[in-house]
Structure 1
Amino acid sequence: MSTPRFDQFLTADHRACDALLGELRSAARAGDWTAARAALASLQHDVLAHFAAEEEILFPAFETRTGMSCGPTRVMRMEHEEARALLQDLADAVADSDADGVRGHGETLLILLQQHNMKEENILYPTALNVAQNDAPALSEQIIARRQA
């Protein structure tokens, strides 16, 4: 079985993280704080592992190949920091069983991630795939291994 391309893998990962955020929001709306805590734990793990794969493998490879360190990867890193802060806000709201806080922070995170993911999927990933050229399969393996670690 061949390794999927990193752009396909990371795009599917975006959808999986979106689904976890939806589970968290639904559980909080229903007042099911046990399910909300479980969804939050999975969401935090998966989003942070996704960010690590990008920040530790994809972004440096892109920057090395293009010579751009103040371009799209810088913006992506800044948006990752915003998302991390929102994940913490969500964690605080879940810890307080605050459904309104989960709703508000969850909606803000959803909007941020939707915009962020569109930039990655439509600009960064295709460009990174193009500049990786023959190294794309090896890069994909590294990214996927880091994400799954």
Structure 2
Amino acid sequence: MEISNYMRDEHRLCDEDFAKCEAAVNEGDFKKAFEHFEEFMVETLKHFDKEEEILFPAFEAATLSTEGPTYVMKLEHNQVRGLLEQLKDTIDKEDRERFFSVADTLMVLLQQHNMKEEQMLYAMCDNVLADRAGELVEKMKAH
């Protein structure tokens, strides 16, 4: 549970940052929206890095598989990265309507992605990496 709890908490923090960004855009405050978006983007990309550089390689080594769930998660990370760039562009251009269109797409993708990680992959990591969970969480915290 240690890995699951840590990673789920990171998902929640990212969600909070994004909600602040959406609220600022809704108020028409694009300067504030950009600040919150930057926090969201930085934290989301750091989370992806922790997974791709620490958690996923440990899981893949333990399961001897790079074609399983981690492969799919990495593909989805790349989709999110593309949407983050689009979202940044909408904020730069102060395009409220397009922001919410892209934001809806991003949120659906992230909600489905996070659900798969939280309900399946992280639980698998907790089981397969139980003997290294504390070490891996500390490594991710330091990352």
Q: TM-score scaled by structure 2?
A: 0.96
Partner of 2:113: 116
Among 37, 53, 56, the residue aligned to 1:56 = 53
Unaligned residue ranges in structure 2 (runs of 5+) = none
Q: What displacement does 1:15 show? A: 1.0
**Native 8 Å contact 1:93 1:102 kept in 2:** yes
Q: What displacement does 1:133 show? A: 2.1
Give aligned pairs, total.
Answer: 143
Distance of 2:74 and 2:127 partners within structure 1: 21
| Secondary structure in structure 2 of the residue aligned to 1:68 | coil
1:121 partner letter: E
Partner of 2:36: 39
Partner of 1:100: 97
1:59 partner letter: F
| Secondary structure in structure 2 of the residue aligned to 1:115 | helix
Residue by residue over 1:112-137, the C-alpha shift from the partner in whole angstroms, topping out at 9 and shown as x without a partner, is 11000000001000101111121111
Among 110, 115, 138, the residue aligned to 2:135 = 138
Q: Greater shift after overlay, 80-89 or 18-27?
A: 18-27
Q: What displacement does 1:106 show? A: 0.8
Q: What displacement does 1:102 show? A: 1.2
Residue by residue over 1:22-75, the C-alpha shift from the partner in whole angstroms, topping out at 9 and shown as x without a partner, is 111111111001110101110110000000000000000000000110000000
Q: Does 2:2 align with 1:8?
A: no
| Secondary structure in structure 1 of the residue aligned to 2:94 | coil
Percent identity, please: 38
Q: TM-score scaled by structure 1?
A: 0.93
1:75 partner letter: V
Q: What displacement does 1:105 show? A: 0.9
Task: After the TM superposition, list the runs of 4 or more consecutive aligned residues in structure 1 that deviate by more than 3 angstroms.
Answer: none
Among 69, 73, 84, the residue aligned to 2:70 = 73
1:127 partner letter: M
| Secondary structure in structure 2 of the residue aligned to 1:97 | coil
